[in-house]
Amino acid sequence: MVERIAVNYKDEVQNLVGKLYLMISILFLIPLTALVLLPLVPHSRVNDFTLATTVIAFLFSVYMSLLIDSSSTFQFITTYSVFNTSFTFGIDGISMAFILLTAFILPICVMVSREAIKMEVKQFYFCLLSIELLLFAVFSVLDILGFYVVYEAILIPMVLIIGV
């Protein structure tokens, strides 16, 4: 009887571990889906839509932080292949802290910008969601080439927010 319980427990753990690699993909898909849907949102609801998206990303990152093991190894490892180059993403304790910080600050930015931004609101929130997506990527990428590409890509929406 005890042996059967141990086997079932091992199977459950392996099922859970097998599904954890999707966590980073889901974290990336939250702002990416919002970026795709943002042009379809009515102008009067853009603030609420963006705030809801950033709150969902924050709640999901809190959920991820509860699942992460306190060991020093990378977890939720996922590999994407683009243009014959593979980029590997994973999260450890330090990168999880930065992801949580990013996800915590973005809803605050949206709430503060609600009154401050009056012109080109959709473009501003598009840039803000792009920065969120790219920051999640920069804090979880494990390859130096991927880090360089994502880190430099953050500059594009940042320049648009600051300079335009």
Question: What's the CA gap between 141 and 161, in Å, rounded?
Answer: 24
Query: What HEC string does 25-53 produce?
Result: HHHHHHHHHHHHHHHHCCHHHHHHHHHHH
Structure tokens at 102: 């990013």
Give the confidence band of 7 by pLDDT, cuts at 50, 70, 90: very low
- Longest Cα–Cα distance of the chain, Å, equals 68
The candidate with the shortest Cα–Cα distance to 107, out of 153, 159, 49, is 49
Residue 53 in contact with residue 30, Cβ under 8 Å? yes
Quick check: 93 and 68 in contact, CB under 8 A?
A: yes
HSE-up of residue 141 (Cα within 13 Å, Cβ side):
19
Instruction: Decide if 140 contacts 96 (C-beta within 8 A).
Output: no
41-92 confidence digits (pLDDT tens): 898 889 999 999 999 999 999 988 888 876 667 778 888 888 888 888 888 8
pLDDT tens readout for residues 93-149? 888 889 999 999 999 999 998 888 888 889 999 999 999 999 999 998 988 888 898
Q: Is the dihedral of CA 4, 7, 11, 12 positive or negative?
A: positive
85's tokens: 């180059």
Which residues neighbour 49 within 8 Å (Cβ) at sequence distance 6 or greater?
34, 37, 38, 41
pTM as predicted: 0.82
Would you say residue 17 has pLDDT above 70? Answer: no
The 3-state DSSP class for residue 161 equals helix
Start-to-end CA distance of the chain, whole Å, equals 68
